[in-house]
Amino acid sequence: MFNQIAPTYDLINGILSAGIDRGWRRAVASFLPPGKVRLLDLATGTGEQLFSLLQTGAISEATGVDLAEEMLAVAKEKCRKNPALSPSPKWVVASAEALPFPDCSFDATTISFGIRNLENTSAGLSEMHRVLSPGGRAIILEFSLPQNPATRSLYLFYFRHILPKIGGSISGNSTAYKYLNKTVESFPSGNTFLKLMESAGFCNASAKPLTFGIASLYSGEKR
């Protein structure tokens, strides 16, 4: 499914979020651990989160992982058009639930709008914890449901009725965008998700609501 929507993925994200997603991705940088960071970006897709973090100058090594080869092809083409990017990212086709890296390989793991698409969320979180070095940090950006009833009602109307039509008409794949809104509604958020992080071994887990709670930024550390 993600291979099929890769060519229009960035365009549709920008339209559907009115560009707000760029601000959310920039907010991830404020949760990076101090010093130069070896970064692993999971479900990296077309690389938007990874590229945003490279702009901070805090990244010493950058690796993007995704199962969708066509998504990674778009990310690689962006790199080709911007040879000044530093450090040059590595791109790996792999599952976030079975990462091909040794223990303690990274200082930060990020995943933006991808954790809800894993078959086994707990397995993905455990893998993130495993590949982090002690003191490393997992940073997770994901959609969530607003707590305010009126905001939630408007949000769900948009996700159920407007988003699938716009996404489907541009991408030619309405099924993909119906799937995306269903995963947002069913995915655990807030304290429920923090408990999953703690079960995976993370400490100091926290959640920060963004834009009235339509997205949340989670972080947790490895002892």
Sorted by where each begins, the domain ranges of the chain are 2-146+189-221
Question: In terms of CATH, what superfamily is 2-146+189-221?
Answer: Vaccinia Virus protein VP39 (3.40.50.150)
The 10s digit of each residue's pLDDT in 193-221 is 999 999 999 999 999 999 999 999 999 99
The pLDDT score that the predictor gives to residue 202 is 98
Let me know: does 90 contact 100? Beta carbons within 8 Å.
no
Tokens representing 112? 């933006």
Say what the pTM is: 0.93
- Scanning the structure block, which residue is given the tokens 């000044």? 84
Percentage helix, strand, coil for the chain under 3-state DSSP, each rounded to 5: 50, 25, 30
The pLDDT score that the predictor gives to residue 68 is 96
Residue partners of 106: CB distance under 8 A and separation at least 6: 38, 39, 40, 63, 131, 132, 133, 136
The pLDDT score that the predictor gives to residue 27 is 97
